[in-house]
Structure 1
């Protein structure tokens, strides 16, 4: 031995913690076992807890030094032994009781035992022949438990030797499951012997009838899945059958099998001198603890067909013949399998499974929730429930996902496109990490536990045992990250909206049989079933991952498309979108995994051709549906900043203008999606559309004004918004009513006028967009179509002071500077204030306003148009409300400053506050204006063209109603609601605008 201080340093380096007592123990070990301790000591560095390993080794040396010497004699024997003693006080206690079993480390090395090898060994331990044991209850069960633990030590040695225990977890769990099955086989043999050797009473049966009793143990849970822990409860169901031909009835067989089951469980779980192995739990059987312990197969099936709850089918997902009669066990599994894989079609099945998972978490004691590896948030149950729910929902149509094991099921779900490859790999990795931690905790005392330790020393040992982290603190940090990842994936996948929708589909619809698909598509609402089949075939053809995922998505998406007003167009648009985005990594994953995105997409595609055509140009915008915030309008400042960046990237006009037009299409699509999905109220939509138009005009103007001769040093130039644009009240398909104004600066007046007209010409050229036209309408300028396109500020001033008509003052009520030089815009608005807010208005001017309104109603309605259905100029529609409010502004804005607004609804609110209108009048007019504004936009969204006439066609009305969030079949209700609200508005309009009912006389057209 080296000098004391060096020895202590070395011991600390090896991982010993209690250094004060270690040296004495080493000396005692050296005296008990004649070995070179300098060769033995390095092996302790491999132990999770070197102090425990040394104590365990010393205890064994005191009991049987020769056995210890044999085990420590060779490096490949002593390292597994020391690992075991340092990781499992439970196994150290076992070897202390049975030091002769240390030969387990010298007899065999290498791989894990096979199921056949385990079964042969454990049956041999109880002397089993032809299903009966050579030993009775006491000795038989003791021999069984000792042999089982010997094999457990061998399995643990293999596990602990792995550089990364996650790599061997699946094999270790399978070996533990095989060992449990072998233990049950041996225990059944002892139980049969016990039944035939009982001295008297009801516990004694004849050997012949016991032999003829067919008895099978069905493994459930982790046992059935082949995923047992070191100390799992082994969930089982018992099934029995008689031999009617040879005089053994089913009833008698059930009696015998019940006794076998009781004794079998006792042999595994009853406390004794040699401790119990694990609990055999039969409580997943029909009726649970209150039900019969053993039933015939027919009795089981009768129960599951009539009385079973949804959770029972989830439990049966992992059922397999585990021990006993293999043929009877397989018959049981084959019989219940169809019931399991059709269970997802039960009413509210998905919701019931989700609620059951939540109840598991709710029942955890508060002080344990954070430390639960198994049941807590981010624990093993989150992975297992998620995988099982996905299997049960999709397994009805896809046998390939019908795997019992969690990891195998994850792989199958990924291969068949029901879960992303990245998600599956991450889930599997996290699951294995949590399982290894659970294994190491249970191995310590051979006790069933799922709680992470809180003690720093225990965490240090767990970190060394698992090899995941160098310290306890680092292990806790890793575990916390893992929990967070697991919980996030669980919530994304477990609560995926597609699950409930898929579960509710009839099985034949999921399968999409080609022979019946056309009729089925027609039945659910497709008008061109053959065309739809063509699209489906194009989307699902081949063996690519994209085609696999599409085959999984389409049954549900077709249902959702059929719920829309135009499923045929929706499917066509979805195909085009899929072909544009199908090669991207995110599109199909988003539809499959993200909350509600697939349903939203089908809703907008089958409900709006306007959106469908824009998405065809900007397919990546589909990603916005995942986050509601992406469907909100971008602020004008944000849009201006982006346009500034565009101008910085492009020196020439055409590429810069093209980028700005693309920005406009993108932002209008964003607003359309927000509108159809119900995210945007009409006020936000109107402002958003106005800001997009303003940003576009302003951006194009900035492009033009950096051209020689048109810049701000040459002249001042501004764009004035008019009409609904000036009032920030644009809808989809609205024109942008504008006027142009300039001011003479350094150039002569004539050159300034030419330069201003060049700006206008360039603005028209650069704004031209055939895909989404931007109509710059200058019809409200002075002198109308006969007036100059652009005037100087002084020209406007001269015109309005000398020639302005009442209608022009009325038009100026909504004039607002929107782009160009700020000072010029402000000066124009100041000029307009003097015209539109007169100190007094003559009665003749009021009569003129009313007369012009009557002419507009009569002359500007299209030939043959029904005035009750025209949403802009018809009775009680937008025109009535706006003219009513504008007359109030002309009359009262000089004294009521709140009326000096370009917004119709703001002016109406001010009029109500100042008692210029009654509440009933204001309410009726506001309701009509909002309804007509929403309806006008909805018609554009549905038809993909601008119209102001409410259609009479039922199909078109239905589509418009759906855009307005009416339920299916509401075409007549929409029509009735519009006619009612406009009748009410027209009634108050006629009384208070005209002073009574007005019927304008027809004039020559």
Structure 2
């Protein structure tokens, strides 16, 4: 390897000198570090030396690529006589060589790398869709909407990191294919349904991107996030798509849809699709049910980490990339329906909006941001070593030495100290926000039946008028809505009531406060996410009880308009009279 490295450095130096721009010392050192730390890059440069002579000697790879650069590179490959499959794969290899060099030689930061990989993926998807549609148009003509009579275009939804322009060096791309209207194709040798036509388009796009040839692949394509997953149709029209999310959409699909971004399709169709999905992803009311869902998702991931031995995985392990993402997206799902700044795709934008809205303190956001980019830099250093899809810390001493050098440390042990410090801070913030289910809560759910308390037990809790409290609880438990509750809302009620009674018992007019609050509890049962607000947010619960203890009018307003409970989350504004501008907004 040392001889190959020396020979390549000599070739780079000679090539640059021949172009009239001799290689400067810092450029030579950048090449030495990048080639020494990535056997993949060393092999790729050796095999495709002409790309270095053409690209680096001319531009020094000094700037990030733009769309027009990719168009030029693809056209160059086309002029060399390659078919579209080879063009896309060679383009990928050519661009990844440049991106890994810039990343490993520290000519750019992780923020640029993720944006550049995402740009490459988006360009390749655009090209693949255009190619597939052109190929099929000759046989089947154009797909026409039965209702509009307009030509239909495939809408390619980029999910996950591609949707947010956050792809890593070895990411899969998660896609969903949809089209506006059913109908038939017209103008070709054979007419088929729009469904059949777009399935063929989708299949061709996947082949163009995912199939492994002698030149490798472009991007691995994952279609499992579509409705019904692998068992569902490859493509859906808008009506079927909307019906699925209205009737069957699950919480994890809301999480996945936060980053969804349309890469292809007519602008008006894309706007309609986004407006259709927005109410599913961002609920109009503050939604604390998401905490339970994220907690369950995290539990499943943690079990996978233990089962597969992924504790040293910088993405899925404790304090890893996924936990930072959960923190940012937690607030998006809880409050995104009401607070527009949270309706963003990028994680850094979500963290900034959370700080701006007072959801997270500034020091927490700063620590999470620093940890996230340290982890993403680590991820790229791990993946770029051999162009492998992994986030696991290497065990091989050479790979450890390369990782440490790229990250700026003399020894792997020094790198681990810094890594563990970041992961520890992330874990602390994650537990503060999405703590594991409280054992005391589970115990109370099993053993304390709040709706079967006798007068002596109620008095022992500190209530001055046990009979009034007992009567109020009896009215609640015998109400039609409580007797017909489904399992999950009933579980939430059983968790919330002991907490509510405990806080009420500390008020000077404890019994009267319970009597005032019971109608409000009954009013929110049809939207039991508000019970989660009280379960998950002790500050909101305490404030609710304090206000209702002080004012029967406030208790009545809350029972009439449960959405007012949202205001309990922002105590700073709750006790400030709004000025004219606030009222206008």
Structure 1 and Structure 2 fold alike (TM over 0.5): yes
Q: Is 1:332 matched up with 2:273? A: yes
Q: Secondary structure at the match of 1:238?
A: strand
Q: Which residue of 2 aligns with 1:149?
A: 93
Aligned to 1:107: 58
**C-alpha offsets along residues 562-618 of structure 1, whole Å, 9 cap, x if unaligned?**
984799999xxxxxxxxxxxxxxxxxxxxx9x9865157448856999xxxxxxxxx
CA displacement at 1:394 relative to structure 2: 1.3
Q: In 1, distance between residues paired with 2:308 and 2:195?
A: 44
Query: Alignment partner of 1:237: what SS?
Result: strand
Partner Cα distance (1:96, 1:73) in 2: 20
State whether structure 2 residue 389 is matched by structure 1 residue 439: no
- The equivalent of 2:252 in structure 1 is 311
User: Cα offset for 1:106?
Assistant: 1.6
Backbone CA RMSD of aligned residues: 4.1
Matched, 1:86 2:30: no
SS at match of 1:370: coil
1:231 maps to which residue? 170
User: What's 2:394 paired with?
Assistant: 453
The equivalent residue for 1:495 is 435
* RCO comparison, higher one (Cα < 8 Å, 6+): 2
Equivalent residues of 1:145, 1:274 under 8 A apart: yes
Alignment: residue pair count:
460
For 1:540-559, what aligned pairs fall within 5 Å after superposition?
A: none
1:334-483, aligned counterparts within 5 Å? 334-342=275-283, 348-366=289-307, 368-467=309-408, 469-483=409-423
* Partner residue, 1:279: 220
Q: 1:348 to 1:414 in 2, by over 3 A?
A: closer
Q: 1:173 aligns to what? A: 114
Q: CA offsets per residue over residues 835-859 of structure 1, 9 Å max, x none?
A: xxxxxxxxxxxxxxxxxxxxxxxxx
Structure 2 residue matching 1:342: 3-state secondary structure: coil
1:267 maps to what in 2? 208
> 1:241 touches 1:296 (CA, 8 Å); kept in 2?
yes
Q: 2:424 aligns with which of 469, 484, 492?
A: 484
For 1:205, the equivalent position in structure 2 comes to: 140
Alignment CA distance shift 1:122-1:308 (3 Å) = farther
Asked whether the equivalents of residues 220 and 316 of structure 1 are also in contact (C-alpha less than 8 Å), the reply is: yes
Q: CA deviation at 1:236?
A: 1.1
2:229 is equivalent to residue 288 of structure 1: yes
Superposition deviation, residue 114 in structure 1: 5.2
Query: What secondary structure does 2:282 align onto?
Result: helix
Residues 261-315 of structure 1 show CA distances to partners (whole Å, capped at 9, x for unaligned) of 2121212221111111321111111011111111112221111011111110110
Give the Å deviation of 1:367. Answer: 5.7
Distance in 1 of aligned mates of 2:191 and 2:294: 35
C-alpha distance 360-378 of structure 1, shift in aligned 2 (>3 A):
same
Do the aligned residues in 2 keep the contact of 1:387 with 1:410 (CA within 8 Å)? Answer: yes
CA distance in 1: counterparts of 2:434 and 2:7, whole angstroms: 47
Which position in structure 1 is the counterpart of 2:520? Answer: none
Unmatched 5+ residue regions in structure 1?
1-20, 30-52, 128-133, 198-203, 498-555, 571-591, 610-1005
Matches within 5 A, 1:385-784: 385-467=326-408, 469-495=409-435, 564=504, 597-598=538-539, 601-602=542-543, 605=546
- Residue 451 of structure 1: CA displacement? 0.2
Residue from 143, 159, 176 that aligns with 1:220: 159
TM-score scaled by length of structure 2: 0.69
Shift of 1:423: 0.5
The 1-side partners of 2:233 and 2:45 are apart by 39
Partner Cα distance (1:242, 1:123) in 2: 33
**Match for residue 159 of structure 1 among 82, 89, 103:** 103
The 2-side partners of 1:187 and 1:68 are apart by 35
- After superposition, the Cα gap between the structure-2 partners of 1:328 and 1:250, relative to the gap in structure 1 and judged at 3 Å, is farther
SS at match of 2:416: helix
Tell me by how many angstroms 1:100 deviates. Answer: 1.3
Q: Which residue of 1 aligns with 2:571?
A: none
Offset at 1:335? 1.8
- In the alignment, which residue of structure 1 is the partner of 2:261? 320
Q: 2:180 aligns with which of 218, 241, 264?
A: 241
Report the equivalent of 1:183.
124
The answer to whether the 8 Å contact 2:41/2:101 transfers is no
CA distance in 1, matches of 2:42, 2:340: 45
User: Which of the pair has more CA radius of gyration?
Assistant: 1
Note closer, same or farther for the CA distance 1:280–1:182 as it changes in structure 2 (3 Å cut). same
1:83 CA displacement: 4.1
Unaligned runs of 5+ in 2: 438-495, 511-532, 551-585
8 Å CA contact retained: 1:401, 1:413: yes
Contact persistence 1:243–1:250 (CA under 8 A): no
| In structure 2, distance between residues paired with 1:491 and 1:432 | 20
Distance 2:40 2:271 in 1: 36
